[in-house]
Amino acid sequence: MNNREKLELMDKVLRELEDLKNSQVALINKAAKLQVDNMELNDQELDEKLGDVHNQLSESLDAITEVQIHFEERRDKFESDHGLIENPEGGEQ
What are the E-state strand segments in the chain?
none
- Candidates 28, 90, 15; CA nearest to 59 is 28
* Mean pLDDT confidence for 25-44: 96
pLDDT single digits (tens) 37-65: 999 999 999 999 999 999 999 999 999 99
- Candidates 4, 62, 54; CA nearest to 27 is 54
Q: What pTM does this model have?
A: 0.84
Q: Which amino acid is at 29?
A: N
**CA geometry: angle 84, 85, 88, nearest 5 deg:** 135
Note the pLDDT of residue 71: 98
* Mean pLDDT confidence for 26-34: 97
